[in-house]
Amino acid sequence: MSFGDPNNPYGQQPQGQPGYGYPQQAPQGIPPQGGYAYPQQAPMGYPNQSYPAGPGGYAGMPMQMPGLLKTARVLLFIIAGLQLIVGAFALLGAAFLSSTSKDDGYGSSSSSGQMAAGLIAAIALIAIAFAVWAIVLGVKFGKGGNATRITTIVYSVLFLLSSVGNFANLGNSGATPAAMLGGVIGLAIGVVILIAAVNKDSVAWFNRPRY
């Protein structure tokens, strides 16, 4: 049986041999005989397509601020507002006391009145400074890092110390039940802010990766 001239490209080719110099292609998905098949690659996704899950969040969405930290943030703003009001009234009182103590009727100034006015003004300025500090901390809770958390701890400790001092003074001076209740509320607020700053979820929030 003749298969024709093997040198003639238009002649009949022998069965099983590729024609015209090109290898036969196997159907898609089936490896060619005698060759190797390569696995098909899945489509590549986009990097940074989602955020890792963490405290207060879930996979595929940005981490949310912990609830206790949100509470501490609101308390900081409330404290700041009260401190600004107290500081403003204290400055007005200091100015009034200073003006009334300039002349005691004998043409000389009252040193005790001036000292009291200066002390009240100093306390007012400290209250205003703490108010500004609280506002800055509350604002930085959203994007601040670990330094914001440490500064919040320092603020809460100082706030607790001042609350303990005021509460002790109220107890020694025989204050009214309303004043004692206010001292207890101040201590509770300081404890909440401190716990919120050292909580593990808050630590993870302030140390979270930022893209």
**In this predicted model, which residue has the larger pLDDT, 210 or 32?**
210
Which residues, 6+ apart, have CB-to-CB distance to 70 below 8 Å? none
Structural domain includes residue 59 = no
Structural domain includes residue 173 = yes
Structural domain includes residue 141 = yes
At 80 the pLDDT is: 94
At 112 the pLDDT is: 77
Structural domain includes residue 34 = no
Structural domain includes residue 84 = yes
The residue type of 28 is: Q
Residue 102, phi-psi category: left (phi > 0), alpha (psi -120 to 50), beta (remainder): alpha
Q: What domain range is 133 assigned to?
A: 67-206
Residue pointed to by tokens 């890792």: 52
pLDDT tens figures, 168-203: 666 565 566 666 777 788 889 999 999 999 999 989
Structural domain includes residue 23 = no
Number of domains in the chain: 1
pLDDT tens figures, 80-131: 999 999 999 999 988 888 787 665 554 445 677 778 888 888 989 999 999 9
